[in-house]
Amino acid sequence: MGGLAKQLAHGCLMAVMLVGMSAATPAAEPELPADQIEKIVRDYLLREPEIIYQALEELQRRQTEAAAARQREAIAANQSELLEAAHTPVGGNPDGDVTLVEFFDYRCAYCRRVVSSMQALLNEDRNLRVAFKELPVLGPDSVRAARAALASRNQDRYVPFHFVLMAADDLSMAGIRAAAASAGLDPDQLEADMDSPEVLAAIEANYALANELGIEGTPAFVVGDQLIPGAVDKGRLEQLIRDARSG
């Protein structure tokens, strides 16, 4: 039996012992000694061990529901930062009726796995707004790429450059300059803009927001009041967008 199951079993024993002792009244027969109550409960649990696992499943269900409720509250409390922050690049329809927020890292293989879905959604759903949240968590190359992507906003090329970086094998400075040129950017201006306080502040703000929402890795998506971790497929994203649209 695992540690959590043992703790639960001990908790069951203690709970039943307390109930047994508190149930006695002055007119009742003398209560059973604690060791006898413990033996009765222990024998019952040995005879019906599945009750422990049923209780564990219920505990896990309640914990999952509580975590989801906390996330919804965090999303509601951070709507402005999620949807309206000036430092957040936007793709698709800027006046769209639903915003899909993506937290990502350019070195994240799972983030790269959903690129085709994101491109398809942007092409097919003309009323979708996408907010891109740079969340570089995989080392210096990730941070460098995030800084470059945010700096590309000064040349109005964020979205095409974003997808170029998602496909890039080389995220060194030389690789980023080459990617910038292929996306129609001036590499010299880009490199100079990467060190701007606004770029660094945007990344720090995204770290803080991810922490508030309980995001532990990339990719992660927010649609409506739902936070969805991991590389979900296009169909799942479409369903979440439909759900948000229907209210």
* Torsion angle in degrees (nearest 10) through CA of 79, 150, 201, 94: -20
pLDDT at 15 over 80: no
pLDDT at 25 over 50: no
Q: Using 50, 70 and 90 to split pLDDT, how confident is the model at 115?
A: very high
pLDDT at 120 over 70: yes
Nearest to 174 by CA among 157, 159, 186, 191: 191
Domains in the chain, CATH or no CATH each: 3-77 (no CATH), 79-246 (3.40.30.10)
pLDDT at 10: 52
Percentage of the residues of the chain whose pLDDT score is greater than 70:
86
pLDDT at 68 over 80: no
In order, the DSSP letters of 73-139 are HHHHHTHHHHHT-TTS-EEE-TT-SEEEEEEE-TT-HHHHHTHHHHHHHHHH-TTEEEEEEE---S-
In this predicted model, what pLDDT tens digit does every residue of 193-238 receive, in sequence order?
999 999 999 999 999 999 999 999 999 999 999 999 999 999 999 9
pLDDT at 169: 94
Higher pLDDT, 53 or 99: 99
Higher pLDDT, 187 or 14: 187
| pTM for the full predicted model | 0.75
Mean pLDDT of the chain: 87
Give yes or no for a contact between 132 and 89, defined as CB atoms under 8 angstroms apart: yes
pLDDT at 18 over 50: no
pLDDT at 29: 55
pLDDT at 234: 95
Residue 220: Cβ within 10 Å count: 22
Mean pLDDT value of segment 44-50: 79
In this predicted model, what pLDDT tens digit does every residue of 136-166 receive, in sequence order?
999 999 999 999 999 999 999 999 999 999 9
